[in-house]
Amino acid sequence: SLLNKLAGSERVVVDPLAGTTRDPVGELIELGGKPWRFIDTAGIRRRVHMAQGADFYASLRTQAALERAEVAVVLLARPCAETVTCMAAILITGVVGLIDDGSKVIFERSLGLTPRQKLIFQFAIATVFCLVAVNLVGIEPTVTIPFVVTVDLGVLTTVVPVGEGFAIPWLYLIFVDVLIVGMCNAVNLTDGLDGLAAGTVMFVMLIMAAIAYRADLINSAVIATAVAGACIGFLWFNSFPADIFMGDTGSLALGTALGCLAVLTKTEFLVIIIGGLFVAEALSVMIQVLYFKKTRKRIFLMAPLHHHFEKKGWSETKVVVRFWIVSGALAATGFLIYFADTLV
């Protein structure tokens, strides 16, 4: 992920070493009969599957799952700007992830796209989505903090004289860019254990579907439900020990889906609670990096957060299931806050 790169972590490909278990920095560990390379720099850990070719074909399957979700949306939702814009953002981000995963095989390098290239693609997708959402979907450039205030981020807006006028709400645009790109990479960081990202995103998407339905946004509800369904189907094969892996193809697309749905349902602030587990994972990396650079010491035994609990002795399945529970509880809490706010 981008944050791992900023931490100084390097993903490398080495020859498979089946049956080997070592536990120094950059250890080789066999998980579920599959060799993995763990890179540990400044307390930031990222796993890399040895068989990059197999990982790439798994990414192809992930992209296929996303496309099936798109088919479900096309069949059940109305073809409108809301549906097309959101699904296009999800699919294009998935393609970016697929390019990243595929380039590791095609060009025989382990890093894929550079962090700068990923950021450029992600910010471009988020920017186009935001502008289309404001001008064609009719999304108001405001952010609602439940029970507190609705902040108008459209106070600094440029209207380009195209057609009836094309508005560029600069403050809201910046906010949405940070939100979508942040969620995109936060889910990417969460994808570190078998079934972790798919399971947690599934819970969050079901809640987003309920919120969209409550707000009478049927198309957004269909999108969220389709993504949740894709996660359930993928989880069947991604549960421990995983047969296929999500890669950037899936994790980046799922993070983008969450960010886009937050904009469409006007839960831009509440999604911090609904997707609180992803926020915690991202914060654990940022805190670890900043604290290590300042003090040369670590706050967490390992980051992202799920590896911290592994270091404390929790098994992989225990970490995954407990993180599912936390994710579901946070998502449900967010829905209760949203529901209560609509009654006020």
Q: To which H or E segment does residue 160 belong?
A: strand 157-160
Per-residue pLDDT at 63 exceeds 50: yes
34-41/44-49 β-pairing: antiparallel
Determine the pLDDT at residue 111. Answer: 66
* Residue 182 confidence class, pLDDT cut points 50, 70, 90: very high
What's the mean per-residue pLDDT of the chain?
83
Residues 135/166, Cβ–Cβ less than 8 Å: yes
Residue 285 corresponds to which tokens in the numbers above? 């990396």
**Distance separating the N- and C-terminal Cα atoms of the chain:** 41
For 297-326, what is each residue's pLDDT tens digit? 999 999 999 999 999 999 999 999 999 999
Residue 144 corresponds to which tokens in the numbers above? 């609602």
Cα 4 to the chain's mean position, in Å?
15
For 107-160, what is each residue's pLDDT tens digit? 766 667 888 999 999 999 999 999 999 999 999 999 999 999 999 999 999 999
74 φ/ψ angles, rounded to the nearest 5 degrees: -60, -40
d(CA 304, CA 278): 10
Determine the pLDDT at residue 164. Answer: 85
